[in-house]
Chains A and B, each alone.
Chain A
Amino acid sequence: MEILFALMVGTLYGCALYLLLRRSIVKLLIGLILLGNGTNLLIFSGSGLVRGRPPLVPVDATSVPAPYADPLPQALILTAIVISFGVLVYAVALIYRTYRALATDDLDNLTSTDRLGEVPATAHVAVEVPLQPIHGSGKGG
């Protein structure tokens, strides 16, 4: 079973990376989700697999009878799942705003903010509303 898990981890990471390398900004989102799932699986399988023995204390005992599935990675993954969802929601909102403001979904057109001393080439191509600086005062209209 460990080999199957390793296979899944590899596939998820490979697919995630392929999507992260695409220029289409929406594919980036899908890649992020796959990457999160792959990482969770990696942590889960890394602590050893125990079938059908959840770390629950039976009613008539005060500790978990061995063998049991390791509770610590589970707690970590649980946190990770929730955080990934938060990241995803934020990324969706950000990509949405970016698309509305810049009217492009091509990541290769979004290079200017990171480059040395360049005026964003896309600054003048706004479709809906003129582009405002990211840290602008947001006065509206």
Chain B
Amino acid sequence: MLIGLLVLSVLAVIAPLGVRLLRRRFGYLAALVSLVLLVWYASLLPSISRGDERREVLSWLPTLGSAVALRLDGLALLFALLITGIGTLVALYTVGYLEDHPRLARFWVSLLLFQTAMLGIVLADDMIVLFVFWELTSVASFFLIGFAEERARARMSAQQAFLVTAVGGLGLLVGLLLLAKQTGSFRLSEILAQGPLPAGEILVTSAFILVLLGAATKSAQVPFHFWLPNAMEAPTPVSAYLHSATMVKAGVYLLARLSPVFSAHPWWEPSLVALGGLTALAGALLTVPQRDLKRLLAYSTVSALGLLILLLGLGERGAKAFTLFVLAHALYKGAAFLVAGAIEHATGQRTLDTLGDLRRVTPLLASTVAIVVLAAAGLPPSAGFVAKETILGVTLQQRLPPVVLLTSLALIGQTAAAWLVLRPLFGRRPAHLHAHELHWTLLACPILLGTTALVGGIVAPAFAPLVSAVTASVLGTTLPMYELAFWHGVTVELGVSMLIIVTAAALAVAWPRLIRLGDRLALTEPLADRPRGLGRIGFERLYHTGVAGIVRLGTQQTRLLQNGYLRIYITTIVVTALLLVGATVLRTPYLWPSSLPSWSLVDVVDILLVLIILVSSLAAVRATERLAAIAALGALGFCLALLYARFGAPDLAITQVLVDTLTVVLLVFAFYRLPRYARLSSTRARFRDAVLAAAFGAMMAAFALATQAFRYSERISAYFAEQAYPLAHGRNVVNVILVDFRALDTLGEITVLALAALGVAALLARRSRRREGSA
């Protein structure tokens, strides 16, 4: 399993090179790799169906208690077969669909990355690994939806799908962490072994809600369903693969995987039945009044996903129907998308209004469409037929009229979507409609997938062991043995199923009337700038308002904080320091003047120097002329140097004198070219600043006093003082520190000076060049 993931990810990495060498034929290579994986997983069918498991563990983050642990059981195998099987066909289909598209390399990198991540999700036995792969599928989906980057709507849809699933992903992460906290393990198999979690714990309830949020966003449940129809901006292979067969089922998979843990929770059944039922109904209602073939299928997918969640909510009874429906839906809906893509590729049209009479225009494509539609409509002997019978059986046994009604309506909507795909074959031929030749893969793939779905009902009994194994995973019990039969005889289920098919066909015939109703209610198009009808209360509207709000908030707070006024920045910093440092300084134990031994040290010269420093710094502030300020600075610097010299720092004194001289000289020269002193601030501002400055100065003075109460360890200084001569043969300890013990620091200092000099040279050189230029 690890090797399979590794091969796929390596293929994703070398895709750019492969595409350059092989062009569109790279798709054959990708299909081959998927096929090999499919065969390998299929070879495991017998042993896994018997209830065996395969596990692999690679050490990763051992200190956090996480590892790349993979586990293959019935549920994982079902999804792995779908991912590799449909992956093979989609890879083949892409050869004919995208041909030698200029951005083919990017497409393959994203698609193979997705395939790796999706396999990773279903195989992961570690929740952190699962989450990482979960987010990777969102990233891959973002790039694939936005593949036609020149279209604004594609970019918007990609962002929308990513934001919605990423918000859910964040919730999922927290939920999984809570689950790990409750159970003490990241390993899914260990958590599942603990059986149902105590329902009374607030931790468990929070974890359940957050996991449900993650699953609902990923699987496009109401109210997050809007991203899926918009995601139809992606190329059709992507729509078939990610947005119908696999990725959108990740949320359903996760709930199925965790169902043994949560299904005993009192909220499990009501919340899943409500969420799934609502989504199934909303999707079904929105399916029929659509023009765009792909949006039509997308809404029907939303409805199917809702139905899957509803089945999970029914617990033990729903598990078998769940398994069959996952399998059947992936087959027939994938085929339906592929055939819709083939129609678009052949005619350049994708909406029901602009298509017609395809059975005469292109008979081969038309017969492909017919096969797929028969499978998707759930006519016997298709896999969809068996799945539908089982679903109806479960809900009828349940004897809950609302659930039966919901399920039937959802199935009618989905079947009607299938019948609608048949409409382009009949009717009047629109002017200018013509079809060009199709690459063989564009027909072969939907035919293969559609035929599999169509005869799936007959071979269903052979898959009974797999269905049992999946059910065991979902229920967390030992293997129940199921009998699967294609024909149950004339039953109530059969009657209802036929009724659904006929009603749906009638809806498809009446479509022109329904579309006018849909137009009036504004359900048919993605939300325009000015919403009308039902669009005004749509959840997508809420999403747009939310995103715009976040952007506005960001702009406003940036305007507020980053206002461009230096004095406001400084004030913010100083006020913060006053509050935080000041509070700490106030609570510091001081050495009070009486305990300071140093009054005896003070003599007249000291007092004189201090007085000069105090007066000259105030003079530098008060000066109204530039020269006066410079003179004050000079006096201040020289007195500082004298103070240094008197307190045992001759080197500092020398440096200070030197630098001070240079500073005064530089300023005197430079200030002739700089603007005069100007009084720009108002008296009120000056007063306010003076108060702030006085407070800050007082705080720093208190801080300087407070430092006297502490002594840092003098070991370092003592070491330098002792070893300066023996080790470095220098008698001036300060010099030895600078050029010997901390020589690298001094090198850094020299570098800073050199850079400053270079900067100054560059700034001044611009001027002289300009002057030459203007002369």
Contacts and interface: CB of A to CB of B under 8 A. Distances in A.
Contacts of A70: 714, 717
Nearest to A95: B674
B586 to A, nearest CB: 15
Contacts, number: 313
A119 interface: no
Interface in B94-151: none
B774 A55 contact: no
Given A23-B567, A71-B734, A83 B752 contact: yes
B663 A38 contact: no
B629 A30 contact: yes
11 contacts: A2-B704, A14-B694, A24-B675, A33-B663, A42-B703, A55-B648, A56-B731, A64-B733, A96-B670, A96-B763, A100-B767
Given A18-B690, A71-B717, A81-B656, 6 more contacts: A8-B613, A17-B570, A72-B717, A85-B663, A93-B759, A116-B562
Interface residues of B, number: 113
Contacts of B574: 17
A21 interface: yes
Nearest to A27: B677
Nearest to A115: B564
Interface of A: 1-15, 17-30, 33-34, 37-38, 40-42, 44-59, 61-64, 68-72, 74-75, 77-79, 81-90, 92-97, 99-100, 105-108, 110-116, 129, 138, 140-141
B190 to A, nearest CB: 51
Main secondary structure of the interface of B (DSSP, over half): helix
Given A15-B693, A21-B571, A30-B633, A2 B720 contact: no
Contacts of B673: 96
Nearest to A67: B648
B710 to A, nearest CB: 9
B738 A3 contact: no
Closest 8 interchain pairs by CB? A14-B697, A111-B564, A10-B701, A69-B648, A141-B773, A105-B675, A18-B693, A86-B756
A20 B570 CA distance: 8
Main secondary structure of the interface of A (DSSP, over half): helix
A116 B614 contact: no
A9 B702 CA distance: 9
B720 A105 contact: no
A94 B763 contact: yes
A74 B564 contact: no
Interface of B: 555, 558-559, 562-567, 570-571, 574, 593, 596, 598-599, 601-602, 606-607, 610, 613-614, 617-618, 620-621, 626, 629, 633, 636-637, 640, 644, 646-652, 655-656, 659, 662-663, 666-667, 670-671, 673-675, 677-681, 689-690, 692-694, 696-705, 707-708, 711-712, 714, 716-717, 720-726, 730-734, 737-738, 742, 745-746, 749, 752-753, 756-757, 759-760, 763-764, 766-767, 769-770, 772-774
A86 B725 contact: no
B674 A41 contact: no
Given A81-B656, A96-B763, A129-B774, A49 B564 contact: no
A24 B671 CA distance: 13
B725 A57 contact: yes
A30 B770 contact: no
A51 B692 CA distance: 34
B606 A1 contact: yes
A85 B662 contact: yes
B665 to A, nearest CB: 11
Nearest to B735: A75
Contacts of B724: 57, 63-64
A119 B716 CA distance: 54
A92 B508 CA distance: 80
Contact of B599 (A1, A112, A141): A1
Nearest to B679: A24
Contact of A97 (B610, B697, B757, B763): B763
A58 B598 CA distance: 26
B655 A78 contact: yes
